[in-house]
Amino acid sequence: MKIKPVLSINNYFSSDGTAPIFIRVNEGKKKRFIPVGAKIKKEQWDAKQCRIKIDKHPNGQPINLKIIELCNSLEKNFLTGGTVELGNKEDFYWWFQERLNYSKDKHSLYNWKKLNTVFEKLKKFSPVLPVKKIDNKFIQDFEASLTKENLHVNYIADILKRIKFIMKLVVDSGQMEYHKNPFLNYKFTTKRTEKKRNSIDEILQLEKYNFSKFPTPQLAVDMFLFSFYCAGIRFGDLCRLKFSMLQGDRLKYTMHKSNNERNIKLMPQALKIIDRYRKKNKEFLFDTKVDWSNEDYSIGVRNSFYRKNLHWACKRAEISEVGYHSSRNSFADYAHKKGIDIYSIKEMLGHSKISTTEIYMKAFHEEETDKAMNKLFGQKKSK
Residue 74 or 141, more confident = 141
Q: Which of 174, 183, 91 is nearest to 132 (CA)?
A: 91
**Cα–Cα distance, 222 to 207 (Å, whole number):** 8
Instruction: Give, in degrees to the nearest 5, the angle at Cα 19 between 25 and 148.
Output: 125
Please give the helix or strand (H or E) that residue 316 lies within, else none: helix 295-317
**pLDDT score, position 86:** 45
pLDDT, mean over the chain: 87
Residue 66 or 14, more confident = 66
pLDDT tens digit string along 236-257? 999 999 999 999 899 999 998 8
Give the torsion sign (CA, 116, 122, 126, 132). negative
pLDDT tens digit string along 60-105? 998 999 899 888 888 877 777 655 554 567 889 989 988 998 888 7
Strands 246-247 and 51-52: unpaired
Eight-state DSSP code of residue 187: P
Given a cut of 50, whether residue 383 has pLDDT beyond it is no
pLDDT band at 197 (very low <50, low <70, confident <90, very high): confident
Task: Give the pLDDT mean for 43-60.
Answer: 93
Q: Which of 122, 108, 111 is nearest to 159 (CA)?
A: 122
pLDDT tens digit string along 310-369? 999 999 999 988 889 889 889 988 998 888 888 998 989 888 888 888 877 777 667 667
**pLDDT score, position 83:** 53
pLDDT tens digit string along 218-241? 999 999 999 999 999 999 999 999
The topology under which CATH files domain 200-376 is hpI Integrase; Chain A (1.10.443)
**At 119, phi and psi to the nearest 5?**
-55, -45
Burial of 88 (0-12, 13-18, 19+ CB in 10 A): exposed
pLDDT tens digit string along 260-286? 899 999 999 999 999 999 988 889 999
Task: Give the pLDDT mean for 108-126.
Answer: 89
Asked if residues 159 and 121 have their Cβ atoms less than 8 Å apart, the reply is yes
Given a cut of 70, whether residue 21 has pLDDT beyond it is yes
Domain at 86-191, CATH from 3.40.50.150, 3.20.20.70, 1.10.150.130, 1.10.10.10: 1.10.150.130
Domain boundaries, the chain: 1-85, 86-191, 200-376
Buried b (16+ CB within 10 A) or exposed e, 306-324: bbebbebbbeebebeebbb
Burial of 117 (0-12, 13-18, 19+ CB in 10 A): middle
**pLDDT score, position 38:** 84
Contacts with 154 (C-beta within 8 Å, 6 or more apart), sequence order: 190, 191, 193
From residue 255, alpha-carbon distances to 284, 287, 323 in Å are 16, 19, 19
Q: Which of 203, 33, 251, 12 is nearest to 117 (CA)?
A: 12
**pLDDT score, position 353:** 85
